[in-house]
Amino acid sequence: MYDKTTFKIKENPVILGLESSCDETAAAIICGRTLLSNQIISSATEQAKYGGVVPEIASRAHTEAVANVVSRTLAEAHMRPDDIDAVAVTYGAGLLGALLVGLSFAKSFAYALNIPLIAVNHIRGHMAASYLIDKELKPPFITLLASGGHTAILHTQTPTKFKVLGGTCDDAAGEAFDKVARVLGLSYPGGVNVEKLALGGQNVVPLPKCLVKNSQNMQFSYSGLKTAVINYCHNKEQKGEEVDKANVACSFQHAAIDPLVKKTAECAKRLNVSTVTAGGGVIANGYLREQLSRECAAYGLKLVLPEKKFCTDNAAMIAAEGLIQYNIGNFADLSLNAAAAIPLK
């Protein structure tokens, strides 16, 4: 590996990011905060045949795609491997077998080129995506994190330090979207299909909001909302009544998203923070993006909203978080192992 005693931090390093935590094999290259290339090979179509991600299929797909996606990324950036200054890779959280594919490739790449290896927490990658959208973005800001595994409102105080202001007590927002999609008979991926169905419906089905009682509380709960959707559909079916699935999807979307958006803006005003960012797969939801934009405008807040392609799993966000860790010299050893679960810290 590189000589730690003589290594010097570059001002605008070229970083290769690798992401393989679920069903996307992704690679990206950044120079400083400038994105030079971003490639994704997805196995989502294959996974859809089984109604969700099958870990063994995902791992095999990563193995077949990882070298190709890195080659394509280098070509798009018009670079050779020895132009790379460091490799940032997702080591968790995610499917263990899938993570190991990307991690093993990253270790080999870093070792062969004698460059630093950077371990990236997938969730912190989602949070870092905003840095690629606004190159002048600096903490402090409030971050709405909404993904398949996490839902939280955070106070980002420095590039490496944040405080969790509130989060979900049970299911994450993305998890709830997927479960409701199955109840409504929608195919994988569930979140985007619930959103599409909701476009043809109205917010008329009485459903509980995902906010835990007590208006000052920043805790959310999606378990009750999910159960309410299940009970509503089953009761209709038992009575021989038709379920208007579009109305259910629309009503669920309102109940799941509105409290998140409102509390995020309220947190910013209460803490006197002028900027709001967002990250995670659920942030690609069109209704959420519209409501968050509207709410921030009403409160006079600046909103830095990543493009949809940077909200779902991608390697650009991994490279962005890698840059943060690079700047403080937080490098990993080749003994680094993958972790299926990592606490939000």
DSSP string, 235-268: HHHHTTPPP-HHHHHHHHHHHHHHHHHHHHHHHH
The pLDDT of residue 307 is 95
The pLDDT of residue 54 is 86
The pLDDT of residue 212 is 67
The pLDDT of residue 43 is 83
pLDDT in tens, 60-105: 999 999 999 999 999 999 999 999 999 999 999 999 999 999 999 9
Mean pLDDT across the chain: 94
Closest CA to 112 of 67, 142, 152, 82: 82
The pLDDT of residue 217 is 64
pLDDT along the chain (345 residues), means of 10: 79 97 96 97 81 86 97 98 98 96 98 97 96 96 94 95 93 93 92 96 95 69 94 96 97 96 95 97 97 98 96 97 97 96 82
The pLDDT of residue 213 is 60
Rounded to two decimals, what is the model's pTM? 0.94
The CA-to-CA distance between both ends of the chain, in Å, stands at: 28
- Positive or negative, the Cα torsion across 193, 249, 341, 316? positive
- 67's enclosing H/E stretch is helix 55-76
3-state secondary structure of 17: strand
Q: Angle formed by the axes of helices 245-270 and 286-299, to 10°?
A: 30
Strands (E) across 174-318 are located at 275-279, 302-304
The pLDDT of residue 48 is 78
Rounded-to-integer distance, Cα 93 and Cα 183, Å: 27
217 within 8 A of 264, measured Cβ to Cβ = no
The pLDDT of residue 315 is 98
